[in-house]
Structure 1
Amino acid sequence: MVSSDIATRELENPIDVAEYLFRRLHEVGVRSVHGVPGDYNLAALDYVPKCGLNWVGNCNELNAGYAADGYARVKGISALVTTFGVGELSALNAIAGAYSEFVPIVHIVGQPNTKSQRDGMLLHHTLGNGDFNVFTRMSEDISCYVARLNDPLDAATLIDSAIRQCWIRSRPVYVALPTDIVNAKVNGDRLKKPIDLSLPENNPEKEDYVVEVVLKYLRAAKNPVILVDACAIRHRTLEEVHDLVEASGLPTFVTPMGKGAVDETHKNFGGVYAGNGSNPGVGEVVESSDLVLSIGAIKSDFNTSGFTYRIGQLNTIDFHSTYVRVRYSEYPDTNMKGVLRKIIQRMGTLSPASVPQVNNRLPDSELKSSDQTITHAWLWPTVGQWLKPHDIVLTETGTANFGIWDTRFPAQVTAISQVLWGSIGYSLGSCQGAAMAAKEQGNRRTILFIGDGSTQLTVQELSTMLSNKLNPIIFVICNEGYTIERYIHGWDASYNDIQPWDYFNIPKVFGAKEGYKGYRIKTRDELTKLFADQAFCHHDSLQLVELYMPREDAPAALKLTAEAAATLNK
């Protein structure tokens, strides 16, 4: 203790560790902190408002993790606070999803004081075996960096490193904050110098060589195309993508996970490529191309309609955050951002092929139909006609995730889904975080499409939305249970059924006041009228719509993917 006091006296501008941590988070753009209070993090939470941050008290840690994920996808980074053991373990599913899908979350865990840990005391929230590192070890494989703030002498350095790694690698980091370190002192003068968030520079000679190799194949190609996927978004290369699309004039497509990465009103945009589940005409163009510039690809089963890509590696150049692969030659430690920028500057004039026309026109079968049933074939183009620029659109694992492929977005739309990790219920928690971020950005519209079964897993976050005065528009697709599971296995099995709820009245149970209004929509005319209602479209409080659809109806892409999943499971 004496040495610690001496060290504190030697600091020119001492500041508490917790204050340093939260001020650094504020510096990188975090304005709201998600989480659940617990006795090992309470003292740290006192610093949240002191540092200009808003505390979002979630209903449980899993939901808080989902919310932090949604917030980070809009703002660029987020913070989550849980307590030791019981709290952090409840959040692990959400953190694993963020790791899987490259979402940057700073996960701060309040821990027992360092002396109790050294002495192996029999404390609550432990396994009773004196091992205080067991939960940290559980998080190590789903975190790109672990900072154990057990000593104030290196706490500030570890905090800066954790936030930097979280940002540049776009994955969760774990910060362990013992109770006796919360108000220990660090050098506050470090805050005068911002954290370096710049990417490590590519080796210039190597980068130039890779650029020339890419340009050789690009200039020789007769019908090249661009295919943009999720990691282009996560690793912050959208400016380069936009400039490449604009400068090259090449037909440009996105994957399901890449929705929102490209301005879908741009003349070069050709739609969604997902193998057999592609938009009409897209598969033919992409698969007949002699060169695919693939940016940030994640070739998972649901992102490729059950691994139905037909693009040969011999005709592909892959751009990633840590390497570039040209056909079968890989160039490690080469970030795509610098490579893409030089390609744009040096490629010259290309002769692009024609681009498939993408619009929100209803299929002829739906245009001619007098049936009032709300089908997926009718819904998703209609949603596209209703959406506005700058909207945030969330879709849940299931029918909504696949249906949104058939929606052409206006400009500047942010799309949020969890196609790879696919945790049911994710999108409702994520919607809370996204709506909080939208509020901070000037109240962009936040719109969620979620199934009735998924809603039942995380419905408590409606309460958090209400308490924080958020105003998302939530469509609960009522189709009698787990439709995607039915298509994979057990069509009439009871485990795919759910208990029907009175969804649009649930916000009232959570304390919604006079401003709240729920809707029950069962026909096309009712939904068309609702979409035309300006009071509904621009409301200042949460709105929830029960949207009734047939139990057996699903987007074509879901049916294809589910069939492939069922076959693979066997």
Structure 2
Amino acid sequence: MAHDIRERGLKKPIAVAEYVFKRLHEIGIRSVHGLPGDFNLVALDYIPKAGLRWVSSVNELNAAYAADGYARAKGISALVTTFGVGELSAINGVAGAFSEHVPVVHIVGCPSTISQRNGMLLHHTLGNGDFNVFANMSSQISCDTARLNKPSEIANQIDHALRECWIRSRPVYIMLPTDMAEKKIEGARLDTPIDLTEPKNEPEREDYVVDVVLRYLHAAKSPIILVDACAIRHRVLDEVHELAEKTRLPVFVTPMGKGAINESSRTYGGVYAGTGSHPDVVKRVEASDLVLSIGALKSDFNTTGFSYRTSKLNTIDFHPTHCTVRYSEYPGVAMRGVLRKVIERVDLSKLSPPPSPEVVNEVAENRDNSETVTQAFFWPRIGEYLNENDIVVTETGTANFGIWETKFPPGVTGITQILWGSIGWSVGAAQGAALAAKDMETDRRTILFVGDGAFQLAAQEVSTMIRHNLKITMYSRLPNSVLQNDALKCTHSFLIYNEGFTIERFIHGREAEYNDIARWQYTEVPTVFGGLDKQVRKFIIKTKEQLEKLLTDKVFNEASGLQFVELWMPREDAPRALKITTEVAAKNNAMIE
């Protein structure tokens, strides 16, 4: 009766499940990834009522990977799993999103508040009456945890979690009990959008930091800009582009920052990752007397084993929560406000920007008389094949390092997972990115580069690509191969056939059996998962001539559906940067006290 009285006092009663999904729609989400389970089934009924699409992946891990890719392409995403078994299957993918600053809303349908209070011995539990154990696990990889147990608090909890997810650009965890899904709360709140604006810096502190930055910038003889992942994730690329355009300073990106900058700009200088970089890039960056580092994530693979040769005395770091000028840190002074004022106040008469190294796709330089498709030839050639505004997804391993040698056309979005590095992530991420492109009603191609070993970990997601008619071109390497499907325009899939895990071979166990995998009939995978011949186009590429014919084919370039390319390359071949990085990784792994 008490609940009825409270509900009668509501201006616009709305079910909790409908409220949360309407909020997701409001902040830009159009598709919800996940899997059904008995603790979330009632909530799932409200997804179409909120104007959202239910994706339904083949397993929770792939769904989490896909939510990660969707968020990187569209800005934010949502994932729905069931209590215990479902959420734990997804936790690796969510952890990757947390690690790499990707905003994912993870909603977990859980047992009723009554069942929890009584400690009932339910399925999907550990049998110990502890219903918080999984939420406690997820709290370590979430920037906010909301347990929706009290109707009077639920709307506030949901709105706060979604704001935190956006502002902090990291996953949040929302625990929705079965008996709360249809409880009525105040729907009038939906008339007021969630405030997603970032908190402003305290003006005096911000002005002080800006003055310090400008003092060093005006005094520098050879300053440069270095753009990293958090510049993308925390949405300051407009500021970065304005700064580069106004100052004409040379601009470099890290591997995790690939795609952040217009690589056709005359100020673009290439990818800097320490010793793994092109020699001209190393020379230019490490000779600079001031590095404006924006959104840095200096992980081992992002820096070729921590091989930066830049001095902290010559570095200004701009971060989402603070700025650091040389050895002085300014906590609570976020980078966006500082960058805006630096752009407004910089004195161009005090700058003398040095030229950037010329960046080209070195196709002719890496062409030899052999018909074998090598890594050195392939990646620059892909740079000539790419179109403006493509979405390029590269798998942890060979493709992550090979793409350093590819110069992107304007507007290309690069999606890669270098810090977390979960093998197989790219297949789900490509599905999510392609779906995001579809939701944004754009005609962007999604192009996936994945090795055969990584593909085997997440191959079932091809089924989801086909189900949603995504346009994806998939390139997969086999010791000489490429994948492509028509049902997914979201993705051109290049499957690179390596007979196993190339990156692991170069770290340790070059001939070891544990780095081998079984040989699949890769081009038949789309057929097994329901792809009809008219939906999916499949190719096996073993020579340069075959590759050239494919990359210049008009229909292939239109990428109207799922395209699966099996690309054969020598087993012992690897990108230059991968060889250098894995050599350092092997030495680090062997270190002892």
* TM value normalised by structure 1: 0.99
- Tell me the distance in 2 between the aligned counterparts of 1:31 and 1:509: 29
Give yes or no for the alignment of 1:232 onto 2:231: yes
Letter in 1 for 2:37: G
1:523 to 532, 543, 556: 543
For 1:444, what is the secondary structure of its paired residue?
coil
Letter in 2 for 1:450: V
Letter in 2 for 1:106: V
Could you tell me which runs of 5 or more consecutive residues in structure 2 were left unpaired when the two chains were aligned. 475-493
- Tell me the distance in 2 between the aligned counterparts of 1:500 and 1:263: 39
For 2:450, what is the secondary structure of its paired residue?
strand
Q: After superposition, what is the alpha-carbon deviation per residue over 1:386-435, rounded to whole angstroms, capped at 9, x for unaligned?
A: 00000000000111000000000000100001000000000001011001
Letter in 1 for 2:496: I
1:503 to 508, 522, 543: 522
Shift of 1:311: 0.6
Aligned to 1:461: 461
Shift of 1:439: 1.1
Does the 8 A contact of 1:435 with 1:472 survive in 2?
Answer: yes
Shift of 1:494: 0.2
Aligned to 1:279: 278
Shift of 1:471: 1.3
Q: After superposition, what is the alpha-carbon deviation per residue over 1:18-40, rounded to whole angstroms, capped at 9, x for unaligned?
A: 00000000000000000000000
Aligned to 2:359: 358
Does the 8 A contact of 2:445 with 2:559 survive in 1?
Answer: no
- Tell me the distance in 2 between the aligned counterparts of 1:279 and 1:37: 48
Q: After superposition, what is the alpha-carbon deviation per residue over 1:453-494, rounded to whole angstroms, capped at 9, x for unaligned?
A: 000000000000000110100000001111110000001000
Shift of 1:363: 5.4
Pairing 1:404-483 to 2, within 5 Å after superposition: 404-441=403-440, 442-474=442-474, 475-483=494-502
Could you tell me which runs of 5 or more consecutive residues in structure 1 were left unpaired when the two chains were aligned. none
Aligned to 1:184: 183
Shift of 1:539: 2.9
Aligned to 2:511: 492
Q: Higher mean Cα deviation, 531-540 or 81-90?
A: 531-540
Q: After superposition, what is the alpha-carbon deviation per residue over 1:131-162, rounded to whole angstroms, capped at 9, x for unaligned?
A: 00000000001000001101111101000000
- Tell me the distance in 1 between the aligned counterparts of 2:52 and 2:13: 21
Does the 8 A contact of 1:100 with 1:420 survive in 2?
Answer: yes
Give yes or no for the alignment of 1:338 onto 2:333: no
- Tell me the distance in 1 between the aligned counterparts of 2:509 and 2:8: 68
For 1:80, what is the secondary structure of its paired residue?
strand
Letter in 2 for 1:71: Y
Q: After superposition, what is the alpha-carbon deviation per residue over 1:298-322, rounded to whole angstroms, capped at 9, x for unaligned?
A: 0000000111100110000000000
Shift of 1:66: 0.1
Does the 8 A contact of 2:391 with 2:446 survive in 1?
Answer: yes
Does the 8 A contact of 2:97 with 2:104 survive in 1?
Answer: yes
Aligned to 2:297: 298
Q: After superposition, what is the alpha-carbon deviation per residue over 1:51-92, rounded to whole angstroms, capped at 9, x for unaligned?
A: 100000100000000000000001100000000000000000
> What is the alpha-carbon root mean square deviation over aligned residues?
0.7
Shift of 1:504: 1.0
Q: After superposition, what is the alpha-carbon deviation per residue over 1:281-308, rounded to whole angstroms, capped at 9, x for unaligned?
A: 0011110100000000000000001111
For 1:281, what is the secondary structure of its paired residue?
helix
- Tell me the distance in 1 between the aligned counterparts of 2:102 and 2:184: 31
For 1:469, what is the secondary structure of its paired residue?
coil
Aligned to 1:92: 91
Letter in 2 for 1:351: S
Q: Higher mean Cα deviation, 393-402 or 355-364?
A: 355-364
Letter in 2 for 1:340: L
For 2:97, what is the secondary structure of its paired residue?
helix
Aligned to 2:395: 396
- Tell me the distance in 1 between the aligned counterparts of 2:278 and 2:439: 34
Shift of 1:370: 1.2
Letter in 2 for 1:521: I
Give yes or no for the alignment of 1:220 onto 2:219: yes
Aligned to 1:149: 148
- Tell me the distance in 1 between the aligned counterparts of 2:163 and 2:362: 45
Letter in 2 for 1:195: I
Aligned to 1:21: 20
Aligned to 1:551: 571
